[in-house]
Structure 1
């Protein structure tokens, strides 16, 4: 990726440590100044094209290192920790594309691509090929075109090139109704929408159309969490948002995300974020 292309992206990104939507539909720009550690939720199925810097992504027991020249695929909403690492580059920069299942499925159907077996893990990383880099540069240049005349065509071309890389198997599995990835996505979507409810593994397995043992195995392989650990992480991430952003009280937050015991909530919150929920509430109060 040339310095001019990277400068174009930075010019449209604005401030650091912020994910900014671009003028091109479903495209956002992520710029972060390391070293920082972020607890977040990948709220879309996305492809992240890493243009500068390095990061480590922690998903349950799994860890992925991505750096400039890599493409990262995240198949659905996932509670992740991201460590932006300090290296010779002053900032981490990526262009993120939120994937629509129907849109991608239509592209795959048109080119009738055949891919090898996908990785058992949901998250996948591969190197950008020359065709991917060339097409990505043309897509980024579209940010300077007020009409965005070719942006949609370049997005489709980008997918065609990616389907020819090792990432193609994961992308194909994402849209295939019969794949384990698609079935686990269905359970994840349900947990994301109903994380405050009491949910059993048996219910999730039934929703996914899998046996309970097979579902548990594949869910942990794809997400890095057991189903109930995954639900707990969703609850805690949302609790962190309610306290820090909406300035909710500890008790109000605990019950809103599905906890019945305040002591259990406080214990698990501190284990996840390093401070108690009361400390975060007090910090909010101190800063107004």
Structure 2
């Protein structure tokens, strides 16, 4: 590991450093720090690169699953409901990760400058893990150093964000992202269908309408969707519904039945069963547990 990167990680792992999310003040880039392995957490990933600097993480989306150790990067190309778990972390050697949302519009702006690539199968998965290439890691190291309070950060930060995107696009692991540069690639069509699913989670799922939106036959759409996301369209929509429901359960005081209807369930009882199967507790119990934990924290 580069000495400069080791120094920067050392600052993040010092005894005075706090767990949590640290905004770097340059775009939407953040540093994540955890001192202990985590439970399995359901969350929603937008397109991003997550570079594991220390520790390790497991991420699963349907049939897709990656275990990412240090100096590897998780790349997510499409909006994905996932289960994630930090598997290696301790107070002496905390989990440290650099996360940068991927700007697909910025990637597409590089179209005219891109060299020709011969990429692999058209159904590249939307969740992958690869060793970080040296040039990409170098750009990230310079970005982290700049974020430590350099006066030139407002000027150079956006330039380095562009470089990180360009390095990622040119890298061996950038295959799925390069597909977004081709307007006729299934990756673009699936992104439109996924956006439609997310915008209408409380409405019945019509695979025929989604396939038409993607410009594919139903069978082709179903096969491409499963290959890229690791889930069928129906499974994907169910996962999105449950993640949104969990947000409402934990962040609002809405009645459980109201939350069920808001995310498209017709039966609150079925909703509670699906919720418990997904998150380990029925929605009411999880809400009560969170309130108790908050009360204990305030009392302490």
TM-score (norm 2): 0.87
Alignment partner, residue 15 of structure 1: 18
Residues 239 and 253, structure 1, Cα contact 8 Å, conserved in 2: yes
CA displacement at 1:185 relative to structure 2: 1.3
Partner of 1:146: 151
In structure 1, what is the Cα distance between the partners aligned to 2:230 and 2:93? 31
Q: Residues of 2 paired with 1:249 and 1:279: CA distance?
A: 13
- State the Cα RMSD in Å: 2.2
CA spacing shift, 1:54–1:143, aligned 2, 3 Å: same
In structure 1, the gaps of 5 or more residues are none
Question: Quick check: 1:269–1:275 contact (8 Å CA) kept in 2?
Answer: yes
1:198-209 mapped onto 2 (5 Å cutoff): 198-209=204-215
The equivalences for 1:257-276 within 5 A come to: 257-276=263-282
1:99 maps to: 102
2:49 is aligned to: 47
Counterparts of 1:183-262 in structure 2, within 5 Å, are 183-262=189-268
Residue by residue, what CA displacement relative to the aligned partner does 1:206-242 show, whole Å, maximum 9, x if unpaired?
A: 1111110010011111111110111011111111111
Selected match of 2:139 from 112, 120, 135:
135
Query: What is the deviation of 1:9?
Result: 5.2
Question: What's the counterpart of residue 280 of structure 1?
Answer: 286
Q: 1:90 — aligned with what?
A: 93
Matched, 1:27 2:29: yes
| Cα distance in 1 for residues equivalent to 2:202 and 2:128 | 29
Describe the shift of the 1:14–1:197 C-alpha distance in structure 2 as closer, same or farther (beyond 3 A): farther
Q: 1:120 matched to which residue of 2?
A: 124
Q: Does the CA-based 8 Å contact 2:107-2:169 persist in structure 1?
A: no
Equivalent residue pairs, number = 285
Displacement of 1:115 in angstroms is 4.3
C-alpha distance in 1, partners of 2:105/2:93?
37
Pairwise CA distance, 1:189: 1.1
Secondary structure at the counterpart of residue 58 of structure 1: strand
Pair 1:26–1:284, CA change in 2 (3 A): closer
Q: Secondary structure at the match of 2:22?
A: strand
Deviation at 1:14, TM superposition (A): 6.2
Is it true that 1:56 corresponds to 2:61 in the alignment? no
Question: 5+ residue gaps in structure 2?
Answer: 296-300
Greater alpha carbon shift after TM alignment, 63-72 vs 101-110: 101-110
| Shift, 1:197, TM fit | 1.1
What is the alpha-carbon distance in structure 2 between the residues aligned to residue 141 and residue 32 of structure 1? 21
Deviates more, 1:21-30 or 1:114-123: 114-123
